[in-house]
Structure 1
Amino acid sequence: MPAAPYDIAKQELLEAALMHVAFDGWSDATFKAAVRDSGMDIGLAKSVCPRGAIDLAIAFHKRGDEAMIAAVKAADLTEMKFRQKVAFALRTRFELIMDKEAVQRGTTLFALPHLAADGAKLIWGTADAIWTVLGDTSEDVNWYTKRATLSGVYASTVLYWLGDDSTDTQATWDFIDRRIENVMQFEKVKAQMNSNPALSKLMAGPNWLMSQIKAPTQFAPPTDLPGMWRGDQS
C-alpha cells in the first residue's frame, strides 16, 4: 500500500530535521529549520506535526521499528532457538540506527516528566513489534508479561548502547545476550512453579484471575457483521 501524503510529508520533515538534531536536539528550533529546509508550508507542517519536533522524534523511533520488522521478516531464522531470535531482533533494531546522536537526544527528550508517557509507549511499541514479527500468538496475560519484560530489556540496552565504545559494539551485543538469558531463567522458574502441585494449588485463585486477562486483539470488534467494511475483497 503506497504511503499517504500525510506520511510522506512527515518523512520529508524528518529527513530535514535530522540535519539539525545533533546541534539543537528535538526542539522547536529544529522543527523550524526542518520546515525551512524542506520548503514545506508552515501550515501543512503544523498539521502533520501538531507537537512539532516531538512528533518528529516519535516518527524517527517508529521508522526504526519498521526497518527492524522488514529486516527480521527478510532473515532466515529457522535454525535459531527462540532466545536467539529475540536477541537477533534486538540487535537488528540497533544495527539499523544510522544516527546515534538522534537517539541520544530522543532519550533526553522523553526523559522529561511531561513526555515520559510518550517514551514508555514507544518502548512498549518496540517490544510489541519484536514479539509480533517473531510470531507471538499469546492471547492471555502472557501477551502483556512478554512485552513488559522485553520493554525492560530494550530500555536498559538503549542506555548501555549509548555509552558503548567497544569494537563493533560487541559489548552491547554481549549485554543483550546476558539480559535475554536472565529473562529465560525467569521463564524457567515460572514453568517450574506451575508444574509444582503444591504451588499450583496455592496459586489456584490468582492463576484463575490471571487467566481472565486477554490480549488486546481478543477485544477487537468482529469484522463480519452486516454493514461493516472489510477492506478490499478483490
Structure 2
Amino acid sequence: MENKGLDIAHAKERLLDAALGHVTFDGWSETTFRAAAEEAGVAPELARLICPRGALDLAVGYHMWGDAAMRDRLKEADLAGQRFRDRVARAVRLRLEAGDREIVRRGAALFALPQNAPAGASLVWGTADAIWTALGDTSDDINWYSKRATLSAVYSAVVLFWLGDESEGNAATWEFLDRRIEDVMRIEKFKAQMRDAPVLGRVLEGPLRVLGRIRAPSGAPDDLPGRVTDEEKA
C-alpha cells in the first residue's frame, strides 16, 4: 500500500468512509477497523497512528461528522418566525436525520461500554453545544452550562427513543421530542416563578449571587465536556 505524502485528515476520512460499509455487520470493532484500513489503502501502522483507539476513534469521527452536517443544514433552514423552542426541536431533528439509524445504534452500544462512556458523554455534550452555538446562544454565565446540560439529557433520551421507533416518518420520535422540550419549558417557567416569589427570592439571593459569578469557558479548557482533542481532530 502506498502512503507516501498521504494527508492525515484525508486518510482519516477515507478510513471512516470505508468503515461505514462494515459497521452494520461488525459494529465499531477491530474487524471493521482492519477492513477499513485495507479498503482505504492505508497501511495498518499508519491507520493505528491516525486512530490510536482504533474503531472508537472512527465512531467519534462519525458523530462529529453528524454535528457538522447538522450545522450545515441548519444554516440553510428557514427559521424566521419560529419560536425558539421550535428552533431547538428543528436542530435536534436535523441532527438525528444526519445519521444512519443502524450505524448510530452500533455507536450507542459502543459508547455504552464503561470504558467508552466518558467519550460518549463528551460527544453528546458537544452536540448540545453545537446546537446552541448554531442557534446563536450568547449566554456567558451559569446558563451556558445549564442549557447544554439540559439539551444533552433531551438529546440522549430522543436518540434512544428514535432507535426503537418504527412509526411512519419517525412521527412518534418527533412527538416525543416535542414533549421533552415542553417538559424543559415547564421547568424553566417554574424556576422563574420561584425566583420571583418574594420569600424564596430572599432565600435564594445568596446562592444566586454565587452562581452569577460563574462564566462560560474561554479557550475551551481541557477538562470541559465536549472538548475535541487534537487527537480527534486528526
- TM-score by structure 1 length? 0.89
In the alignment, which residue of structure 2 is the partner of 1:200? 201
Deviation of the 1:218 alpha carbon: 7.8
In the alignment, which residue of structure 1 is the partner of 2:84? 82
Instruction: Give the distance between the partners of 1:17 and 1:206, measured in 2 at CA.
Output: 50
In the alignment, which residue of structure 2 is the partner of 1:51? 53
Instruction: Give the distance between the partners of 1:197 and 1:128, measured in 2 at CA.
Output: 34
Instruction: Give the distance between the partners of 1:178 and 1:110, measured in 2 at CA.
Output: 26
Deviation of the 1:5 alpha carbon: 2.9
Distance 1:25 1:218, change over 3 A: closer
Deviations along 1:72-91, whole A, 9 cap, x unmatched?
11212111000000000001
Instruction: Give the distance between the partners of 2:130 and 2:123, measured in 1 at CA.
Output: 10
Deviation of the 1:64 alpha carbon: 0.3
Deviation of the 1:217 alpha carbon: 2.5
Task: Describe how 1:38-187 pairs up with structure 2 within 5 A.
Answer: 38-97=40-99, 99-187=100-188
In the alignment, which residue of structure 2 is the partner of 1:230? none
Instruction: Give the distance between the partners of 1:22 and 1:78, measured in 2 at CA.
Output: 38
Instruction: Give the distance between the partners of 1:200 and 1:209, measured in 2 at CA.
Output: 14
Report % sequence identity: 54
Deviant stretches of 4+, over 4 Å:
none
Q: Does residue 18 in structure 1 map to residue 20 in structure 2?
A: yes
Deviation of the 1:47 alpha carbon: 1.5
> Given residue 198 of structure 2, which amino acid in structure 1 is its aligned partner?
P
- The answer to whether the 8 A contact 1:131-1:147 is kept is yes
Instruction: Give the distance between the partners of 2:83 and 2:187, measured in 1 at CA.
Output: 17
Instruction: Give the distance between the partners of 1:176 and 1:5, measured in 2 at CA.
Output: 40
In the alignment, which residue of structure 1 is the partner of 2:228? none
RMSD: 1.4
- The answer to whether the 8 A contact 1:139-1:218 is kept is no
Name which structure has the greater RCO, CA cutoff 8 Å, separation 6+. 2
Unaligned 5+ residue runs, structure 2?
A: 1-5, 222-234
Deviations along 1:147-191, whole A, 9 cap, x unmatched?
000000000011100000000000000010000101111111111
> Given residue 6 of structure 1, which amino acid in structure 2 is its aligned partner?
I
Task: Tell me the secondary structure at the aligned position of residue 218 of structure 2.
Answer: helix
- TM-score by structure 2 length? 0.89
> Given residue 75 of structure 1, which amino acid in structure 2 is its aligned partner?
A
Instruction: Give the distance between the partners of 1:100 and 1:163, measured in 2 at CA.
Output: 10
Deviations along 1:40-94, whole A, 9 cap, x unmatched?
1222211111111000000000000000011111212111000000000001111
Aligned length: 216
Unaligned 5+ residue runs, structure 1?
A: 221-234
Deviation of the 1:219 alpha carbon: 8.1
